[in-house]
A = this chain, B = another copy of it.
Amino acid sequence: MLSERQMMILRAVVRDFTNTGVPVGSKTLAKQLPIHVSSATIRNELAALEEQGLIEKTHSSSGRIPSGEGYRYYVDHLVKPDPLRPNDIDVIQSSLGGDFHKIDEIISQSATILSNLTSYTAFTLKPELKNSRLSGFRLVPLGKRQVMAILVTDSGDVENQTFDVNETVTGDQLEAVVRLINDQLVGLTLPEVLQKLQADIPMKIANYLQSPEGFLDIFGDVLTRAAQERFYVGGRLNLLNFSQDSDVDSLKSLYSLIDKTDDIANVLGQPSDKISVQIGNEMTNDALRNFSLITATYDVNQHGKGMIAILGPTRMPYSRMLGIVGAFREELAKKLLDYYRFYDE
């Protein structure tokens, strides 16, 4: 249990250290704090905080820096999100203000904006597609042997893929297959479609194609891709700013991490309505030891929920970052609702 004064001191330690990067000592704190106590008193309190594992020393006679637990306590109990700076508001307005023709453009642009605002690396994830429905399927013959499969969902997402047909398949056959798919599967959610694809569809298709496996593979492929969570990353290069003393190896593993959709999904974790902060030492991945991750969901009502996140050094100004993430999720939700309203009408 911390006293009021200890909280005040812990808050000051975190704020000072995240701003300057220098371990903070008792004298500095005594000057900074609103209360009037001597540095010796602060020293006693610092010792108490260290006792509880909230702060630590870099060497036996250094000032204090927050420990992982200290950051945790700070973000859980002591921090309060900063309001946006006027300048930041401008940036959001102007970058998100234009006309977009695809959801993906908005989401991808958002990653860029977030990374610009924070000067960290940002991730955005479009609203989950689990409950979007198949609204159409086409097979378009392109030439001698190539066919393009196109899949459209009711949320306006389009996924396509070209493939080779190795045997001679007639246009009539293709049309029959397309009609079958559209009759049987349109209107179902994507997971439902995937399920049906395992069940009765193969037999029905066998009426029109002698070897339906190849086709089913393609269809399953493009379907999975459509249903897959789609990540966008902004400000990749900003990671370079925080690689202490050019530790190339950990940088490399960091980059391979953020380029793998699965891994990132794993790290981001489950969506929750609150803005969540993960401190480096709390994350399983070793490459993230010196980083913190702030994640938040945004809510587009019946169109589902998406996620935004920023990845920066553990030593980041949390109040400002929480302010940015909090405000941006709202703006993004608004923008997307606008977009859907236009698209649905």
Residues of A bordering B, CB below 8 Å: 101-102, 135-136, 138, 140, 142-143, 145-146, 148, 150, 152, 156, 158, 160, 162-164, 237, 240-241, 243, 245-246, 248, 251-252, 255-256, 343
Contact = CB atoms under 8 A, between A and B. Distances in A.
B142 A146 contact: no
B163 A160 contact: no
17 contacts: A101-B163, A102-B162, A140-B150, A142-B150, A142-B152, A143-B156, A145-B343, A146-B156, A148-B150, A148-B158, A158-B162, A160-B160, A237-B251, A237-B255, A237-B256, A240-B248, A240-B251
Given A150-B148, A152-B142, A237-B255, A245 B246 contact: yes
Contacts of A140: 138, 140, 150
Nearest to A158: B162
B150 A143 contact: no
A314 to B, nearest CB: 19
Contacts of A143: 135-136, 152, 156
Nearest to A236: B255
Nearest to A251: B240
Contacts of A146: 152, 156, 158
Contacts of A148: 150, 158, 160
A102 B150 CA distance: 18
